[in-house]
Structure 1
Amino acid sequence: MQHRFSLPSQAISAQAQPLQSQAIAIPQSSHSPWHKTLEFALAVATGTAIACLALMPKASALEALELNYGSMFKLDLPLSELETFAKTGKASDNLQLLLDVSKTKPAMAQQLLSKEMAVDSALAKRMLDSYLGEVLLKEMGSVVKPEAGREPWKDIRTAMVTASTDQKLSAIEVLNAYGPAKLSINGEKAMAIFGRMMSDFGDIQKLLGVKSLEDVTGALCPPKR
């Protein structure tokens, strides 16, 4: 038997037994530009999520995120509520419920959404076009429930390229640039992939002997002559 709880703009389904939630551990990133890029990119994918720039027309842009944590928790969150939270730190009832269930500190979530990184748009595009970039994008896309006829990793790539055109990048503006109207995310899987990607990149750095995004991109896709 299921119970439904009413919220201002959302009905949330839950099984009768108490909700078993786990704290979402967000790994600490290093100060390298590449680690900051990974932190940002996955924040987008998870809707936390990791997630400022040239926005796509609202008629075809993202309107809401559907967040799933296991089989017992599902929440539709309008993008407008995330935008307000990113700007003001004030969480809607729905968003506050998500923060409580995931045991995520509001200040951390706001920072993940709103923090801007200075980027070279041409360099970012080269990185995303590289083999490693495609691997990372497909990892991010694997936490997204695809719409018919679409490949999520390509939509993520397009949003990130669009969002970097003014040489800055933040999660909330990448979400604004995301094409499909709805983004359905598996939150548990997203956080697991985030942790694994951070660990994997540390191994890649040691293997290649690189420390920055510029070093990685230069090694993978040198400028054409």
Structure 2
Amino acid sequence: MSHYFPLPLRWLFSFFASTSILGISIPADAAQSIVFKYLILQETLPVSELTTFAETGELSHNLQFYLGTTKNDQEQNAAQLQLRDALTKEVKIDGVLLYRALNSPAGELLLSEVSQIIHTPSNRANVPSLRSALVASALEDNQITLLEVLQNYPTSEVVVEGERLVEAVEEFNKIGQTIEELKGVIENLPDIGL
């Protein structure tokens, strides 16, 4: 097979084969709701409400309640702006390159760190789930946003540790920068042969 298909096609095939073997689907079974945890508070929101807010700025009743806990309008507006920025900040990254990088030991370590912030409700299979969501997001348009990752998360519900949300966005930026810097090395990694 390696003689007939270029390496990037083999990587894509490996990605889709591994996700189907592991039972991870993209995005047919994508997250329908997000559980935001903030200190001792917990709120479940439909992904569609978060998507509408990120795209239009329109707050659903649930989001108004969740974001309305600040003391004044200025603080509330700042919190809304910070959340929209976190959800829509774009990190340019090639999907195939991202897949290769996330399957390296360094990629596993990064995924392990970020999966402490964004994870499954059972807190099991966090790394493969996050990898699937990140790669699916990047394959769509060669970029990732937090919103896309949440939309593509392969469980019906995804948990986000709210007090560390900005940290997750910073980690996505680091991933993008690191992969761009190591592009030549990553492209020459041996095929993982899935």
Please indicate, yes or no, whether the TM-score normalized by the shorter chain is above 0.5: yes
Alignment of 1:99 with 2:73, yes or no, is no
Deviation track 1:74-133 (CA, whole Å, cap 9, x = no partner) reads: 111111100101110111122233334475532232122123333222222222122222
Indicate the structure with greater helix content. 2
**Contact 2:120 2:155 (C-alpha < 8 Å) held by counterparts:** no
Relative to structure 1, the CA distance from residue 136 to residue 181 in structure 2 (aligned partners, 3 Å threshold; closer, same or farther) is: same
Match of 1:178 in 2: 153
SS of 2:36's equivalent in the other structure is strand
Q: How far apart in 1 are the matches of 2:136 and 2:179?
A: 19
Alignment of 1:134 with 2:108, yes or no, is yes
SS of 2:52's equivalent in the other structure is helix
Match of 1:214 in 2: 180
Q: How far apart in 1 are the matches of 2:171 and 2:92?
A: 22
What are the equivalent positions in structure 2 for 1:96-175 lying under 5 Å apart? 96-101=64-69, 104-144=78-118, 146-148=120-122, 150-165=124-139, 166-175=141-150
Relative to structure 1, the CA distance from residue 139 to residue 101 in structure 2 (aligned partners, 3 Å threshold; closer, same or farther) is: farther
**Contact 2:117 2:165 (C-alpha < 8 Å) held by counterparts:** no
Relative to structure 1, the CA distance from residue 89 to residue 193 in structure 2 (aligned partners, 3 Å threshold; closer, same or farther) is: closer
Segment drifting more, 141-150 vs 75-84: 141-150
Match of 1:76 in 2: 44
Superposition CA RMSD, Å: 3.1
Deviation track 1:42-98 (CA, whole Å, cap 9, x = no partner) reads: xxxxxxxxxxxxx612xx210111112222x21111111001011101111222333
Q: How far apart in 2 are the matches of 1:156 and 1:191?
A: 15
For normalisation by structure 2, the TM-score amounts to 0.65
Alignment of 1:67 with 2:36, yes or no, is yes
Q: How far apart in 1 are the matches of 2:83 and 2:129?
A: 23
Segment drifting more, 86-95 vs 141-150: 141-150
Deviation at 1:149, TM superposition (A): 8.6
Amino acid at match of 1:131: P
**Contact 1:61 1:179 (C-alpha < 8 Å) held by counterparts:** yes
Deviation at 1:137, TM superposition (A): 0.9
Q: How far apart in 2 are the matches of 1:185 and 1:170?
A: 14
**Contact 1:67 1:75 (C-alpha < 8 Å) held by counterparts:** yes
**Contact 1:139 1:193 (C-alpha < 8 Å) held by counterparts:** no
Q: How far apart in 1 are the matches of 2:142 and 2:169?
A: 27
Q: How far apart in 2 are the matches of 1:111 and 1:149?
A: 27
Q: How far apart in 2 are the matches of 1:195 and 1:167?
A: 17
SS of 1:154's equivalent in the other structure is helix
SS of 1:164's equivalent in the other structure is helix
Percent sequence identity is 28
Q: How far apart in 2 are the matches of 1:174 and 1:192?
A: 14
Choose from 21, 27, 30 the match for 1:56: 27
